[in-house]
Structure 1
Amino acid sequence: MTGEDAPLISSGVDAAKRRLMESMPDALKRRLVGPYNRMLKAKGNRAYRTRQQALPTRSPSDDAPDHIVCVVVDALRADAVTAEDSAFLAERLWGDLVTPAPWTFPAVTSLVTGEYPHEHGSVRQSDESDTGATDLVIPPKLPADRETLPDVFGSAGYETYGGFAFHMPFFAIGGRFATHSLYDDAPADTLVDDYLDWADAQTGKTFSYLHLADLHEPVDPPAPYWGRYEVDASIPDIKTWDYTEAADVGPDGRRYRANRKQLYRAALAFVDDELGRLSYNLNERLDGDVALVVTGDHGEAFWEHTEFDAAHFADSRPAYCVDHGGTPYESLTRVPLAVDGLDLAPADGGTPSLIDLAPSLLDSVGLGDALEPTGTSLVSGVPTDRVTLVESARYGHEKKAAYFDGWKLVVSKGDDQSVGFDLPAAEPTTLPEAVERRLTEALPAWPNGEHADVRVSGMAQQRLEDLGYV
């Protein structure tokens, strides 16, 4: 960990400093949020400039888009994109991707590297069943000298921008952009407005990354969207998570769950409207060709396999098949990919992954050899014989998944479980022997605790606790 990373994640600080941070009243920590965020952004901007000095000068192809905007909607599950709730996304939907991890930190690191978590190193380090239950730990961050997608764009003359609605994605990939914007759970319209202000001042090519948090707990879209979807705001804890146990939740629990799903739809409708506004302004304000890419970092579970999950897998919260970070069911692993101004091959090959996005964007600007990703470019298509992986669960024992030819395998060594699924039904089934053997052999190694996960600082923990991380 470098000196640039130390303010972001306090692993290695002396015990006295940690005790001081943890002893601060929450009210004091919140008053320090502004200076804290400004410090993080300044450190991130400086880290990027330092890295750029060591990179070669690259040239994009003559027909490369002048502006590329990548938007990640946190907790956006693929089947949530419909013409009714998200017409903008539905009209531009290319298909589904499988996230390489069911929560933000390892997933977005995979997005900017084109590698699986076990390859880039931002992967859970322990297989203990209480992971994530009582203390806020995160995987190791990428080494400071590791080149990523925005670094490559910067070396090719693109001005780069990263806007983060909350801290977790910034902790993962902060320091990778020339300009950072960082907020405490800001709504989509704030991120779009601030990004457009930045874009108005640009005179050359740009690459931008916006990470939206509106679908992430606490979910609270503007009032008109609550009304449009008839969400009962009087239900306790409706913005967060409740009724997460496997037992029968009764009429109050069923009412809560129905309204919680409606609230998610309402928030997505708001995000979709903001994406439409963003797209319109990009084409009106920016000179040159614009490519817009929208995806999710992971999905969101809404009790699809609650009883099965409780019977087969440990969850340290416990929260069975709800929220994200747990067992990699389809509701968590499938995210949509919507594109505008970018030519991709039809989604009819192998199972595409979020690790394919970085090589796809680089291929589209003639920089396909700048990184050495595991992912493949969607410009040319996914090989039909590829096994696609998911790993680095946040809660309970580690749980990994592998996909091939319409089959899926979920394995947890700690839970002593190996469960097959026949897709797209996504119901447990017995896999053909040859398929199960191939998927099992493709799974990466399990964490052995040789290296420790990273404990965040007291200030960072306050920011993330407010978002339901512990």
Structure 2
Amino acid sequence: MDTARARECYGLVEDEPAVTDEENSLLSTESFTSTFTSAPWTLPSHASLFTGTSPSKHGAHAGHKHLNETLLTVPELLQNQGYETVAISNNTWISEEFGFGRGFETFYKTWQYVQSDTDLGRIARQEEGFDKIRRAGKALFDGDPLTNIANAVYGQFFRKTDDDGAARTNAWIEAWLGDRDDSRPFFLFVNYLEPHLEYRPPKAHAVEHLPAGVTYEEAMEVSQDAWGYTADTVELTDEDFEILRALYRAEIAYLEEKIEEVVDLLKAEDEWEDTLFIVTSDHGENIGDHGLMDHQYALYDTLLHVPLFVHGGPFEEGEIDDLVQLVDLPPTILDVLDIDAPAARDQFQGISFHPDADETREYAIAEYIAPQPSMDALEKRVGDLPEHVHTYDRSLRAIRTDRYKYIRGSDGTTELYDVQVDPGETNDLSDTHEDVVADLDTTLDEWLDSFEQADPTGATTMSADAKDRLEDLGYLQD
């Protein structure tokens, strides 16, 4: 094992992208083309990524929105090995408030100009008149008043509308790399947000991807109200979805440039050859697929199939089509860095995909433990819900082999797809392939019986500012 080339460990998570043709040119690295996340949205997917466990085991999901301290996390493991551990987050879910701060010496949140637990930016942007004065005045003294004022001014006037934090993230990385104590190895985790509703890429990138005859201004007028579309209060045409997909591709193209900037920064500091560099995504996106928008209420591959690129250590340029899951990253990282950590390895449900590993994955598992947003939260947003929307009020589990994808709902529904011939999962075979359904159903039950499932107790709460910011990003809360 060539650990000399893996002195540093750098993790990059893009918040949205599913696999597209554009992403295959992202980096000259080893590309894992059959990679799947464990959950279709940010909180449980990142919890799986950090702990190497499934949502059923780590217990962070829509019913319990916090990663509890019962499991070891990758940053904790590396901090114990003497690594400098740093996180940069552009998404409110990935913050100390929701349990993701453990093991990080530094946790930088790009939505704040000065790092603080109090956020006036949302008040400054959203409230008007007396309500703005009242709420801002109340929050002003919740912490450091000068810091709060600085963050409010930043949120109101200076944070760009065509960049969700990538530019500021890279500027921070550049300064940090130049100033850090290079006698220590580092673990740097970055969550970018750009490919996230609303899709508002820089104009120069958008015009390169928009359909012929569609202007940037026209594209910006297309509704991106995912919940209105889900509840049938917003109508979108095929042409509208073509435009939205073009904007999504433009967001990815912009983010690709920003990731390549980070590679250049590492090279400039002579760190690149000693760095294990990983780029992946926590989930994909439905843009009219399966009658849905955003990344909720389903376990189709549009949400679960994600990119994975790895550079450094034993990984060489090329493509690998073996089944891989994001829960496989923690044991793989430990193998590359030659870290034993037996307690963590006992905890992991992932399978190392180190080139010297003996075991390969036979199937991938994904879970959607509870709907997010709930029916109540959605109804508060859009009003009375059509009957078909209430069918989303259930949990889902899916098991996927190289050929078949089986989805089972808590409401008794089942779906089966031959993903080799039907990658879009449009032809449900559950009624005609009962033997395959029975076999995968049994395998799913055996997997569930193989570990102790989390039973999180106690209600979880979030600050009003976090709730507001998440709703600003489209995550409706009760």
TM-score of the aligned structures, taking structure 2 as reference length: 0.72
Tell me which residue corresponds to 1:216. 196
**1:313-462 correspondence runs (5 A):** 321-344=292-315, 347-349=320-322, 351-370=323-342, 371-372=344-345, 373-379=348-354, 380=356, 383=359, 386-392=362-368, 393-395=370-372, 396-414=393-411, 416-424=412-420, 425=422, 426-427=425-426, 428-430=428-430, 432-441=433-442, 442-443=444-445, 444=448, 451=457, 454-462=460-468
Decide whether aligned partners of structure 1 residues 65 and 118 sit closer, same or farther in structure 2, where only a CA change above 3 A counts.
same
**CA contact 1:81–1:90 (8 Å) conserved in 2:** no
Please say if 1:182 is aligned against 2:166.
Answer: no
Provide the C-alpha distance between the structure 2 equivalents of 1:407 and 1:385, rounded to a whole number of angstroms.
14
Deviations 1:418-441 (A, max 9, x none): 111111323322374453233223
Cα deviation for residue 453 of structure 1 reads 5.8
> Residues of 2 paired with 1:324 and 1:90: CA distance?
29
Tell me which amino acid in the other structure corresponds to 1:422.
D
Describe how 1:52-131 pairs up with structure 2 within 5 A: 63=4, 65-78=6-19, 80-82=20-22, 87-89=25-27, 92-125=30-63
Q: Where in structure 2 are there 5+ consecutive unaligned residues?
A: 112-162, 373-392
1:269-348 pair list within 5 angstroms: 269-287=253-271, 289-306=274-291, 321-344=292-315, 347-348=320-321
8 Å CA contact 2:57, 2:453 repeated in 1: no
Between the aligned partners of 1:368 and 1:452, the Cα distance in structure 2 is: 34
* Residues 165-198 of structure 1, C-alpha deviations (whole Å, 9 max, x = no match): 1211223412331111112383212112212211
Unaligned runs of 5+ in 1: 1-59, 126-137, 307-320
User: Where does 1:194-205 land on structure 2 (aligned, <5 Å)?
Assistant: 194-202=172-180, 203=182, 204-205=184-185
Contact 1:108–1:172 (CA under 8 A) maintained in structure 2: no
Identify the range of structure 1 (169-178 vs 398-407) with the bigger mean alpha-carbon deviation. Answer: 169-178
Answer yes or no: is the 8 Å Cα contact 2:328–2:352 preserved in 1: yes
Question: Is the contact between residue 409 and residue 421 of structure 1 (CA under 8 Å) also seen in structure 2?
Answer: yes
Post-superposition shift, 1:275? Answer: 0.9
Q: Alpha carbons of 1:172 and 1:270: their partners in 2 closer, same or farther (altered >3 Å)?
A: farther
Partner-residue secondary structure (3-state), 1:360 = helix
Tell me which amino acid in the other structure corresponds to 1:67: E
* CA spacing shift, 1:153–1:61, aligned 2, 3 Å: farther
Q: Kindly provide the amino acid, as one letter, of the partner of residue 150 in structure 1.
A: P
Aligned residue for 2:289, secondary structure, equals coil
Q: How many residues end up aligned between the 2 structures?
A: 378
In 2, Cα distance between the equivalents of 1:254 and 1:233? 18
Distance across 2 between alignment mates of 1:182 and 1:113: 21
Contact 1:238/1:259 (8 A) holds in 2:
no
Q: Is the 8 A contact 1:292 1:342 kept in 2?
A: no
Q: For structure 1, which segment, 237-246 or 329-338, has the greater mean C-alpha deviation from structure 2 after superposition? A: 237-246
1:125-157 C-alpha deviation (Å, 9 max, x unpaired): 4xxxxxxxxxxxx533221x6421111111112
How far is the alpha carbon of 1:273 from its aligned partner?
Answer: 0.7
Displacement of 1:244: 2.3
Match of 1:469 in 2: 475
Structure 1 residues 382 and 302, CA, compared in 2 at 3 Å: closer, same or farther? farther
CA contact (8 A) 1:398 1:412 kept: yes
Distance (whole Å) between structure 2 residues aligned to residue 233 and residue 93 of structure 1: 36
Distance in 2, matches of 1:191 and 1:65, equals 23
Q: Once the two structures are aligned, what percentage of the paired residues are identical?
A: 23
Equivalents in 2 of 1:121, 1:265: separation in Å? 33
Alpha carbons of structure 1 residues 450 and 108: separation in structure 2 relative to 1, 3 Å: closer
Q: How far apart are the structure 1 equivalents of 2:40 and 2:264?
A: 31
Aligned to 2:124: none
Deviation at 1:240, TM superposition (A): 5.2
Whichever residue aligns with residue 285 of structure 1, its letter is: E
- Choose 93-102 or 449-458, whichever is displaced more: 449-458
Q: Describe the shift of the 1:242–1:382 C-alpha distance in structure 2 as closer, same or farther (beyond 3 A).
A: farther
Partner in structure 2 of residue 232 of structure 1: 216
Q: How far apart are the structure 1 equivalents of 2:83 and 2:454?
A: 40
CA distance in 2 between counterparts of 1:353 and 1:62 reads: 23
Equivalence for 2:116: none
Q: Is the 8 A contact 2:77 2:103 kept in 1?
A: no
Question: What letter is aligned with 2:106?
Answer: T
Shift, 1:268, TM fit: 0.3
> Quick check: which one's helix share is greater?
2
- Output the TM-score relative to the length of structure 1: 0.73
